[in-house]
Chain A
Amino acid sequence: MVAAGAIGDAVYEAVIRAATTLRPDALEAMHAALERERSPRGRVVLGQLLENARIAADDHVPLCQDTGSVWVLLEVGEDECVCGDVPAAIDGAVASAYADARLRTSIARDALLDRGNTGDNTPAFIDVGFRPGTGVTVNVMLKGGGSDNASAVRMLSPAEGEEGVIRFVTETVAHTATSACPPVLVGVGVGATFDKVAILAKKALLREIGSEHPEPHLAGLEQRLLAEVNALGVGPGGLGGTVTALAAHVLTAPCHIASLPVAVNVGCSAVRTARVEVSSIA
């Protein structure tokens, strides 16, 4: 059994860790980017981002002032029983974490009816999936507005194929990258349905940077996407250079025979995600 409170505790820990600590894989990728960036201005920007990560970790302050909307992806063990009001536990944890860690609250009460701030960064946006085994994997992402605004979904025609996917991803990044805080992490979802493809793209940002896609064809597609995006020349901070993205991650899924849904979710230079495993209690 996993109680809602245990999931709340995991969210609390994950929010604060993600807000103030750059992911180790992103830090390593940033160091590598500094080695290969050819633009002097781009290297200055990368140097500032590395210094920023050090200050945030040392002083326990947010990596970015936009501490985001909170996305929680629960991967529940198929043999697990989850008890209690999980959404309430998650929102309670988010409110506490934002107050305790002095994070900025950035959620409007309603997109059209009331743009007033909810004051505690709730509600969190929650998705639930299933995985084998027991326990619950709690994934948390703090999504900045600039990079989420740089994202897009398009329903391609199947005939447009992989080339269509590459064109759409590259155009999306080209159009918005200077505002998305590059070097970015490009999350790409392909397949499923109009609503689910965006979740695939967001979930792709959770994968470790530098890890190879287990499917060889998609590993090749990721390399091609990264090359196309870096050839845009947007560069660190959008001020020109050879490193526009640290990586491109692709997740695919089944889809309708008439459809080729594609989504791009852009992760910023301060990509903020954290994972906590909650164990089953007898």
Chain B
Amino acid sequence: MHEATPGPAPIEVSLPATREALAGLRAGDAVLLSGPVYTARDATHERLVTEVRLAGELPFGLAGQTLFYAGPTPPAAGRPAGSVGPTTSRRMDPATPSLLKAGIVATIGKGARSEEVRRACAEYGAVYFVTVGGAAALLATHVTAAEPVAYPELGTEALVRLELERFPAFVAIDARGENLYLAAALEWRGAAGTGGGDL
């Protein structure tokens, strides 16, 4: 992968991640994720929340697993998905605290989240990863397998198990509830224009 600047080397994270491993991550860390994740978007969340409410536990062995807010394109270029990238996490915010409580340990998406989600991450020791929106062709080269698990009738919103291999992401909310978006906004607000040539 092209790295524009040498920074601290990304941290390798194996999924499903233990709470101990997640506790060692800090908001802002660059990570490479390897292992299974489960795609879940708006309609999938409605179903999962209903299942948790009715059965009292997560279905499909999702306890301890990671949800990826994504709806991939069909297979292409010899890969299980031609392109796969994050959708807006905020839409899943109302469902997330109950799913974290039920045992989801990490989520992957894009964009800032509600205060309720930040607090739920801290309460349950969960981590919110973000990956770059608009980089879906690149991200697809880090997905080695895709296997439908449930809700095939939802099409691109079906629950699909993806196998990731060194999938690049950042820690946006860590297990202590520290929030990269807040820190980044404070650090960089007003910075453009102060160094010349930024416009």
Contact = CB atoms under 8 A, between A and B. Distances in A.
B170 A234 contact: no
A63 B134 contact: yes
Given A45-B132, A231-B193, A238-B110, A56 B5 contact: no
Contact of B134 (A178, A232, A270): A270
A187 interface: no
B137 A48 contact: no
B116 to A, nearest CB: 17
B111 interface: yes
B6 to A, nearest CB: 9
Contact of B70 (A65, A179, A237): A65
B35 to A, nearest CB: 20
B76 A60 contact: yes
A178 B112 contact: yes
Interface stretch (A2-10, A129-137, A222-230, A251-259): A222-230
Given A231-B189, A235-B188, A240-B185, A181 B156 contact: no
B199 A239 contact: no
A202 B72 CA distance: 26
A48 B133 contact: no
Contacts of B110: 146, 178-179, 181, 237-238
Contacts of B75: 102
A149 interface: yes
B1 interface: yes
Contact of A62 (B7, B43, B73, B156): B73
Interface stretch (B14-22, B54-62, B82-90, B94-102): B82-90
A269 B138 CA distance: 14
A60 B134 contact: no
Given A44-B30, A233-B191, A61 B77 contact: yes
Nearest to B140: A61
A130 B69 CA distance: 41
Interface residues of A, number: 64
Contacts of A52: 132, 134-139
B130 interface: yes
Nearest to B90: A179
Contacts of A217: none
A66 interface: yes
Contacts of A226: 199
Contact of A63 (B71, B83, B187): B83
Contacts of A59: 76-77, 82, 137
Given A40-B5, A232-B189, A106 B132 contact: no
Interface stretch (A31-39, A154-162, A189-197): A31-39
A34 B111 contact: no
Contact of A65 (B136, B183, B189): B136
26 contacts: A38-B191, A39-B184, A39-B188, A41-B30, A41-B184, A44-B5, A45-B132, A52-B134, A52-B137, A59-B77, A61-B77, A62-B83, A64-B137, A65-B140, A104-B71, A178-B111, A227-B192, A230-B198, A232-B189, A235-B188, A237-B110, A237-B132, A239-B184, A240-B185, A269-B134, A270-B134
Top-9 shortest CB links A-B: A240-B184, A233-B188, A47-B4, A179-B111, A181-B133, A230-B192, A269-B134, A233-B189, A56-B137
Interface of A: 34, 36, 38-41, 43-53, 55-56, 59-67, 102-106, 115, 117, 119, 145-146, 149, 178-181, 223, 226-227, 230-244, 268-270
